[in-house]
């Protein structure tokens, strides 16, 4: 009992310190253009915002995209036709300057900083290929990420993504956040799953499928989302999908131990010759 009380007090103190930091840092937030303020406001209201690389217009995009397709062509061929649960193939490409420079574009950092309300940590980049699956598991289940209290993932589709490719799908925050009663029901189901995720059938018992927001789009579509606050998943697919995932948290994040995967050896990295060629 005493340990439980101490744990709750520590949590309350941590959250209070976090709120104080938000208040103290608010005057330091960078000024945004009107179009970028719309992105931040939509993230706060919905949990996600869909745009395109063309609309973002970041100067380092052409070089970044060229390197992305270069690395995608060099990802190992996976023979998983006989596997029931086909795991995604993930490369950590944070060390390649074309990705690092794009992720550190000033305009992008200003958007993220205004959303988080605190200094930003750019955690890194994953190049990811997801394969066809008939059953939900892993990130195909509805879930929330855990790295921080709020975070941002910038997802870039590298191929045209229709329903058959399994687009990113989320539920607007108004339907899953306090004080909406559904927030308690969702949190209960997530706890019950051990935070591994919940199925379409379980979610539909709480929130009608008509309210789910699917995000298909052509290659170059950009989904800017907060995977910590928005209930989300990748939908079941019959064809492969390739995408980049740029990840941002506050600096420091609440759970830094969960962020090391974006730069350490958890996942494969491009071979050194490939890295040199891409830099050249």
Q: Are residues 262 and 219 in the same domain?
A: yes
pTM given for the model: 0.93
Count of structural domains, the chain: 2
pLDDT at 256: 97
pLDDT at 49 over 70: yes
Structure tokens at 5: 């009380």
Tens of pLDDT along 92-146? 999 999 999 999 999 999 999 999 999 999 999 999 999 999 999 999 999 999 9
Confidence of residue 178 (pLDDT cuts 50, 70, 90): confident
Residue 12 and residue 147 in one domain: no
Check whether residue 54 and residue 8 sit in a common domain: no
Residue range(s) defining the domain that contains residue 196: 33-279
| 24-27, long-range: CB < 8 A, 24+ apart | 25/117, 25/118, 25/119, 26/117
What CATH number is associated with residue 100? 2.60.120.620
**For residue 275, pLDDT beyond 50:** no
How does pLDDT run across 243-271, given as a tens digit for each residue?
999 999 999 999 999 999 999 999 999 87
Q: Compute the distance between CA of residue 240 and CA of residue 65 in angstroms, rounded to an integer.
A: 19
What does the angle CA 253 – CA 119 – CA 12 come to, to the nearest 5 degrees?
45
Same-domain pairing of 20 and 90? no
Give the tens place of pLDDT for each residue, 63-103: 999 999 999 999 877 767 667 789 999 999 999 999 999 99
Query: What is the percentage of the chain residues whose pLDDT exceeds 90?
Result: 85
**Sign of the torsion angle spanned by Cα atoms 222, 227, 231, 232:** positive
Predicted local distance difference test score (pLDDT) of residue 6:
61
Q: What is the pLDDT of residue 1?
A: 63
Residues 102, 3 within the same domain: no
Q: Are residues 22 and 53 located together in one domain of the fold?
A: no
Q: Specify whether 85 is located in the same domain as 146.
A: yes
Q: How confident is the model at residue 39 (pLDDT cuts 50, 70, 90)?
A: very high
Q: Which residues contact 16 (CB under 8 A, 6 or more apart)?
A: none
What is the per-residue pLDDT for 125? 98
> Is 70 exceeded by the pLDDT of residue 3?
no
Top mean pLDDT of 9-18, 71-80, 151-160 is at 151-160
Q: Are residues 120 and 58 in the same domain?
A: yes
Distance of CA 64 to the CA centre of its chain: 19
Residue percentage of the chain with pLDDT more than 70: 92
């Amino acid at each position: 009992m005493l340990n439980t009380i101490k744990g709750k007090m520590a949590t309350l103190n941590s959250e209070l310190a976090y709120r104080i930091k938000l208040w103290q840092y608010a005057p330091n937030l960078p000024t945004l253009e009107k179009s970028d303020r719309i992105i931040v406001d939509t993230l706060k209201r919905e949990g996600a915002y869909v745009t395109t690389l063309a609309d973002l217009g970041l100067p380092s995009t052409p070089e970044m995209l060229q390197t992305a397709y270069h690395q995608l062509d060099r990802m190992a061929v996976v023979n998983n036709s006989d596997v029931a649960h086909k795991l995604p193939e993930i490369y950590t490409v944070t060390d390649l300057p074309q990705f690092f420079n794009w992720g550190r574009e000033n305009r992008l950092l200003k958007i993220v900083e205004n959303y988080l309300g605190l200094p930003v940590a750019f955690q890194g980049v994953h190049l990811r290929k997801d394969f066809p699956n008939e059953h939900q598991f892993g990130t195909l289940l509805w879930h929330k990420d855990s790295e921080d209290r709020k975070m941002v993932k910038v997802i870039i589709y590298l191929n045209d993504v229709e329903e058959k490719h399994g687009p990113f799908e989320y539920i607007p925050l108004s339907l899953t956040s306090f004080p909406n009663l559904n927030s308690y029901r969702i949190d209960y189901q997530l706890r019950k799953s051990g935070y591994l995720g919940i199925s379409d059938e379980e979610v539909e018992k709480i929130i009608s499928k008509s309210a789910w927001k699917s995000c298909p789009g052509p290659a170059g579509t950009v989904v800017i989302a907060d995977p910590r606050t928005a209930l989300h998943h990748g939908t079941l697919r019959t064809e492969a999908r390739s995408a980049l995932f740029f990840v941002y948290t506050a600096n420091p994040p609440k759970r830094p131990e969960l962020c090391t995967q974006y730069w350490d050896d958890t996942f494969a990295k491009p071979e050194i010759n490939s890295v040199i060629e891409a830099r050249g």
